Amino acid sequence: MMLLRGLTLGVLTSLFWGCGPGTAAPKAAEGAASQPQAGAETEPAGPRPPDFELDTLDGDSVRLSDHLGKKVVLIDFWATFCDPCLTAMPHLEELYQKYKSEGFIVLGVSIDGPDSVAQVKTEVSKLGVSFPILLDQESRVVALYNPKTSAPYSVLIGRDGTVLQKKEGYTTGDASSLEKDVAKALAR
């Protein structure tokens, strides 16, 4: 009975927190108390983010440093196999559309493997996403920002180029909280 309870808790926890190896359900003996809360800050804000350049779905490339000092940047690590990631995408698109004229950009970093480009294109098209989708097929950028490979995982960077916030996981209630954080960053 205890094993069944632990397995059920583990499955529910992994569904709630996110997807990927970094967000796997806790072992039954560890319990849910050891998991970070969805949307909880995972690291202190303030450091300058490492620069990167990745190819886009369109065949162009995007360099993070091209936006630093000019825009508020939200880097969103996501995957096609991650239901919370796909749930978050329309909310991120709404934020992007609402605030892009004020200097906000979302960089969606797909952590799907190189064999999944067609699937990434299909999901992006189906979801109506217009912000840049970057392909981290060699996991270089995810290793810099998100070594646990959690998905979804977001990094909010201010215009001054400093990391304001890092969050792991996504629930529907996170959309309004994220919008407040973006608006606050844009007001600085």
Annotate the chain with three-state secondary structure. Answer: CHHHHHHHHHHHHHHHHCECHHHCCCCCCCCHHHCCCCCCECCCCCCCCCCCEEEECCCCEEEHHHCCCCCEEEEEEECCCCHHHHHHHHHHHHHHHHHHHHCEEEEEEECCCHHHHHHHHHHHHHHCCCCCEEECCCCHHHHHHCCCCCECEEEEECCCCCEEEEEECCCCCHHHHHHHHHHHHHHC
pLDDT confidence of residue 22 = 45
Q: pLDDT per position in the chain (188 positions), as tens?
A: 333 333 333 333 333 345 654 443 322 233 333 333 444 444 444 678 999 999 999 899 999 999 998 999 999 999 999 999 999 999 999 999 999 999 999 999 999 988 899 999 999 999 999 999 999 988 999 999 988 888 999 999 999 999 999 999 887 777 888 999 999 999 98
Q: What CATH fold (topology level) applies to the domain 39-187?
A: Glutaredoxin (3.40.30)
| Domain extent listing, the chain | 39-187
Note the pTM of the prediction, 2 decimals: 0.77
